[in-house]
Amino acid sequence: MEKNNNYWDKLVKQTQTQDYDSLLAEHYRNAHLDLISSWVTLSSHQNILKTDLFAEAMCPSRSFMWEILRKSGRITGIDISPEICKKSKQNTGVFAPGQSSVYISCDIRALPFSTACFDLVISDSTLDHFKNKRDIQIALNEFSRVLKPGGTIIITMDNKTNLTEPLFRLWIILGLAPFFIGKTYSMRELKTAAQKTGLEIAECNTLIHNPRFFTKLMVSVFRHVFPRKYDSWTKRSLKYFDSLSLQPTRYLTAQFIAIKATKP
């Protein structure tokens, strides 16, 4: 997000699609759908804003937006990259045909929408693409502004307190990340920043507890060494890691943190 849309446009044109294991994509998608469905009831009467369309454009099997579209009937999707918006619109015709959606390229720090116009804002791993935390606060202020009184916002971010965070940051510094990743918050910081905008925290949770760097290797080994048992072993392993969300150590193992907040 900190880098301009030319960076993301160029990345999309060079990469085309993201390589992602089908079971890991399904797990990521279902984890977010389960979280959202446990926090809000979707209906066709809602005006929904969905931020960050990278998954919709680059790895559509990983996206949970198609299911939300089928339940709600309409979503406004935004991304800083016109190319990502274009590809997301194309993929909607494949993964959610006949559904109404609008795609707008804009900066989340200056949303081109009137005040109090959305019933629900879903911001999944969007705020963790800035170099400076002050930009996260500016974006949160904008989310709060466009949310209707009584509306709900769901935010997920990279988990700053994950045990693999030092390794994750080293990976970024060495230039090994496939795209730009910026600052993030701990749960306490995220809740505090949201409250500064006037939002009220209703729920908090964690997502995806399998080890960030080692799961893809584990899945790759299962796929090639135990092809007949690949699906069952992979699903069993992911289910085990999901159970860590119930443990006191969940903030050390979660890849993402999540909050549900409402506007008074």
Number of residues in the chain = 264
Question: Element (H or E) spanning 78, and its range?
Answer: strand 74-79
Average pLDDT for 220-233: 83
- Say whether domain 5-211+248-262 belongs to CATH 3.40.640.10: no
- In three-state secondary structure terms, 40 is coil
Distance CA 69, CA 162 (A): 31
Q: What is the mean pLDDT of the chain?
A: 91
| Segment 169-188, tens digit of pLDDT | 888 888 777 777 889 999 99
Mean pLDDT of 41-51: 91
* Domain edges within the chain: 5-211+248-262
For residue range 58-113, what is the model confidence (pLDDT) as tens digits? Answer: 999 999 999 999 888 789 999 999 999 999 999 999 998 888 789 999 999 999 99
pTM for this entry: 0.92
pLDDT recorded at residue 2: 47
Strand 100-105 with 118-124, pairing: unpaired
CB of 5 closer than 8 Å to CB of 81: yes
